[in-house]
Structure 1
Amino acid sequence: MSAPVDTLTAAAAEIASARKDMLRIATAGSVDDGKSTLIGRLLYDSKAVFEDQYEAISRASRGDHVDLSLLTDGLRAEREQGITIDVAYRYFTTPRRTFVLADTPGHVQYTRNMVTGASTADLAIVLVDARKGMLEQSRRHAFLAALLRVPHLVVAVNKMDLVDWSEGVFTAIRDEATTFAARLGVPDITVVPISALAGDNVVTASQNMPWYDGPSLLHHLEQVEVVGDANVADARFPVQYVIRPQSDAHRDYRGYAGTVASGVLRVGDAVQVLPSGRTTTIAGIDGPAGPVEVAFPPMAVTVRLTDDVDVSRGDLVCHLDDAPAVTQELEAVVCWMADEPLRGRRKLVLKHTTRSVRAVVTSVHHRLDVNTLDHDVEAGELGLNDIGRVTLKAMQPLFVDDYARNRVTGRFILVDEATNATVGAGML
């Protein structure tokens, strides 16, 4: 049986204790809104920059200010063009939390990179230039954050120094952003006025905006609660590897290794294995440091079962009364990432959790206009960076949940059979 309510509450507390210091952030926004500068400011003000790094970017900077964006734009093409192309991951720590921060591109042709950066984020920061307001790309990235079910959205109104710290300008952008977010169904939105170049309201409160009584950006990032976003109700354990030691001392050991996708697994739980449907109980759970009584996301563990059940890579362990859907027909929103358009009858490899199967596209229902949220039902195909609704048929059963309920078992990637390149990302 699945865990009762009080057990789920205890599990949520355990997850809170295990990952209270971790926040995954994706930044996005239109070109030149200051994403890389903001990240550089967060790194510098949180003492995550070495002296030799700072001296190097000081020598490379032009003008009166040190160009902190040089801390993140690592590719030569990025530095030469003054744009962000690839997803750059940076890490910094405060006494309250550890942050994993993805600097994602602003150009429309790199939408697929933004999807990659935001797919695992707990929070998305969309920067808006105070002089320009909500541009097409600002709306695009806010929509993508909502589409990817990023639980928390922060709209950082940057370059307030260039509009004389105007409260009226900020209020107008805040109202527009919250209205648009409401249309998207964003569950939590916060709007913060900042100046990334000067550091106003990024880490400490700004004296230049006495009319703003909300938190600084970093204070909000430190305080936002993400533990409640985890799905602790639906136990999902995709099997990655079967462990069968050959030594005499462990000849009888058989374990199934993987990462807990969601929910809670405990020793003694009654479970079933998909696709066979065979039922058994959990005899033991082994973690990196030894046996544990309970496992929850994102723990990597080895599960031992009481009965000798046939289990292999790609199978899924779940509770008896809380199984995912088992299906070969998939309807999903797909972000296409290849130059060659996606059309009906296209054959691909579909990778879902630890399971890889061949699949064929049976229909492209519509292409989505992320600016107007309209559906183009006449499109018939998806081009590079397009997003649309697609139906696929898998050659073998998959064990899936709705993406809104489970971001791990509700997503997949599409791979070209010939080149082995990732060509699409889908959300069920």
Structure 2
Amino acid sequence: MLNISNNQLNKSVDLKKFKSGQRIFNGRYYKYFNRFLLGSAIIIVFILFLPWTQNISGNGNVTTLSLDQRPQTIQSPIPGRIEKWFVAEGDFVAQGDTIMEISEIKSEYFDPDLVKRTGEQRSSKAQSVGSYQEKVKALERQIVALSKERGLKLEQAKNKLLQAKLKVKSDSIDFEAAKTNIVIAQSKYDRTATLQAEGFKATKDVEDARLKLQETEAKLISQENKLLASRNEVINAQVEVSRVNAMYADKISKAQSDKYTAQSSQFDTEAQVSKLENAYSNYEMRNALRFVRAPYDGYINKAIRGGVGQTFKEGEDLVGVMPAHVDLAVETYVAPIDLPLINLGEKVRVQFDGWPAMIFSGWPDISYGTYGAKVVAIENFISPNGKFRVLLAPDEEEQAWPEAIRAGSGAYTMALLEDVPIWYELWRQLNGFPPNYYQPQNKDNAKTKS
């Protein structure tokens, strides 16, 4: 009733006498609702004290743990032209299988027998080196022979010099004797002449003494000539010794000069041989590069350069290859404020794109569709997206990752930190505070591994 009339019926009529009135006025309308509110309040208070696992979420993608297992494009280190394809997109190739054949486009490598001709040039130069080596050995033998011959010739010349000196000594003695004889002859002649003047000697005796004196003078002159000749022989012998020394020094010097010239030519030819060997090896390797081969077992993803006859420069991408056997990992990114909370070996939950999941971020134990991982690497420099890159590997203690996931798929990650009450987490979120500074119990082990 609206009670807008002055005649209020409820005052004149006792509505409680009726059954409907009794049910209405004696009923407790909010009894169940109040119980619901009370029960809800108790449950909420209970929930606020439940443990909540703090976590750091991030988005990333699936990659490979090893650098050599990541998808790559194959380039050619030399420019060329595509001649023939041996595979198609999607084919499996084993390590070393030929993917394509290319040909040269540079004129200096057009000769099909370039390697053979370079090898022949190398062999010829190597033989020339051997000839120069033999020439050097022959000149060394010649130098040794000349040195021995010079020693003998010098010994012979020195013997002649000694003989000449002895002859000078002998002739000088004879010359002194001749001078003594002339003094005696002169004395005899003077005595004979004196006695002849006094009448004691005949004229014939004087003439004989004079003749003897003249003969003695002649012998003195002859002996003096012999002495001078002997002295000249000494000088000649000394000149001969100098001449032998000079002659053989010139011969030996000429032989040594020829030897050094031969050695210089030998070294120059050896340098040319080394250059030819280098060129030969380069040409061999360049010939091997005409066949583009698979670096590992994998699948041909995409032919970047298709067709036949197309030319390309060195370093250009030709074909993409995906490894057949990979150790998957996840690369995720965390904000700089959360980086100090990430540690090596820390547990992380991962959700992969395409795999249904029911996630309770604070209760990882009851989440469904997530997989275990652990931190194996933390980047020390910020990425272009303003976050730090963290690499995650599968956790061997958890369920294995799905076999159907492929590198490049998206992933959502949660790094698990400390357990705190829900009321504390709500308070932290409302105030914009970071999670508690967390250090795992195996921090020392993590440092050791890093």
More helix by share: 2
Q: TM-score, normalised by structure 1?
A: 0.16
Give 1 or 2 for the bigger CA radius of gyration: 2
With the length of structure 2 as denominator, give the TM-score of the two structures: 0.15
More strand per residue: 1 or 2? 1
